[in-house]
Amino acid sequence: MSARGGLLRTHGDFRLLWCGETTGKFGASVTSVSMPLIAVATLHAGPFTVGLLTAASWAPWLLIGLPAGAWVDRLPRRPVMLVAAAVSLVLFAALPLAASTGRLSVPLLLAVALLTGTAAVFFQTAYTAYLPTLLAPEEQAEGNAKLQGSASAAQIAGLGTGGLIAHLAGAVNAMYVNAATFLVSLLCLGRIRHREPRDTSKGARTTSLVGEVADGLRLVARDPWLRPLTLFGAASNLALMGYQSIQVVFLVRDIGVDPGGVGVLIASTSVGGVAGAFLARGAVGRLGTARALLLFELGFAVPALLMPLAFGGAGLALFVAGGFSVTAGVVAGNVVASGFRQRYCPPELRGRLAASAAFLAYGTIPLGALLGGTLGSVLGPRAALALTSAGVPLAALILRFSPIGRTRDLPLSRERAEDGPVPAASSA
């Protein structure tokens, strides 16, 4: 049992990591509203351009996601995170400076989205591999829940702040907020005293970079537990980003919501993330890890079908209810899945596993953004939202018809997994 106040009170290095990660999520959520609003309101871009902008920020997972995992496994993870945060700070601060000199353009937005997305690949891969070295195994469930819950709370605040700044001072000025969050991340990460244990195998490696990338892919492709989780992540992210890439256009042009209202509405849906983080640990205790994962990823996804039914006034509650439920399920599912991967994967493969899984799961995000933008241009935002949101619960069927759907608990390690799934108890 952790002391009163938990890790945030008793673990100084975790507190610094938590602070840096939470402020980064706050800035990212400001950007997720402000970037599309800059494109739509300032540069008069259409749905396809907005989708292309979102795709550019995630395309690096397809371009460099796999080698990034092998590189991260060869390097200390904290310095990688520091460099990535510094690059993002400079790039986001450059946008309002460009606007003040009349040089802001869609190509510049796309370039910044692509480069900051590249930095995010290295930061996220290093962060995923670094966290288990910072926390003891018995602390990881609490750590994951706190990070996911705080990230959701930061997202709520960031979405509302992004909309408010866009309303009061212009969407471009919101980029200063994001730049400032990366400065906070740099300061927090720089103060962490924990150093990763030296990996003595690094100096004796004979496997090439290509071979190490292949190791990560084989781990994901052959493992009966990691494979469906990764395939589900790919399908789910395709659908999630499909609707998220056009939700701003839908709210502004189809329903007539002003920029400040857009931030408030999307922030309201993100409250579900905080609820999901709180629900995750309790559900795991009552239902088991596999059953809880199915509940969150499938059961909580069905209300996504309410979002395209929204209309002005009271009808906006349909958008909020659907988004709230989906976000709660995604965050709770991430808490369960993250804890499983951290326990299950050998430490020396964590970077490659993170990158291989992310390459396949995050790699569909730019495709989803392009899909949403294309459907929005051809069919209109409402029809596109209906099609893409329906894909969210459909994606979870991958989990339902995998070994995860036939067991109560996910295995604690790869060795125990060899004994096969634990059958789910029959209902009374």
Long-range contacts of 282-288 (CB under 8 A, 24+ apart): 283/332, 284/336, 287/408, 288/407, 288/408, 288/409, 288/424
> What is the DSSP-derived secondary structure letter of residue 142?
H
Residue ranges of domains in the chain: 8-193+208-417
Alpha carbon of residue 37 to chain centroid: 21
* Res. 417: pLDDT tops 60: no
Per-residue pLDDT band for 427 (boundaries 50, 70, 90) equals very low
Q: CATH says 8-193+208-417 is which class?
A: mainly alpha
End-to-end CA distance of the chain: 32
Q: Which two tokens stand for residue 21?
A: 């990660």
Residue 118 has pLDDT above 80, yes or no: yes
SS3 assignment, position 186: helix
Q: What's the rounded Cα separation, in Å, for the pair 96 and 88?
A: 14
Burial of 44 (0-12, 13-18, 19+ CB in 10 A): exposed
Interatomic CA distance for residues 314 and 104, integer angstroms: 37
The string of pLDDT tens digits covering residues 37-92 is 888 777 877 778 887 887 888 888 888 877 887 788 778 888 999 999 999 999 99
**What 3-state class would DSSP assign to 170?**
coil
Count other C-beta atoms under 10 Å from residue 208's C-beta: 10
The pLDDT confidence band at residue 152, using thresholds 50, 70 and 90, is low
Closest C-alpha to 339, from 43, 120, 139: 139
Tokens at 353, concatenated: 């596993």
Q: How far from 339 is each of 21, 144, 274, 334, 401, CA to CA, in Å?
A: 17, 7, 17, 8, 22
Model confidence pLDDT, tens digit, residues 368-414: 888 988 898 899 999 999 999 999 999 999 999 999 999 999 887 66
Q: Tens of pLDDT along 290-315?
A: 999 999 999 999 999 999 999 988 99
Percent of the residues in the chain that have a pLDDT greater than 90, as a whole number: 30
CA distance 353 to 346: 9
Cβ–Cβ < 8 Å for 262, 251: yes
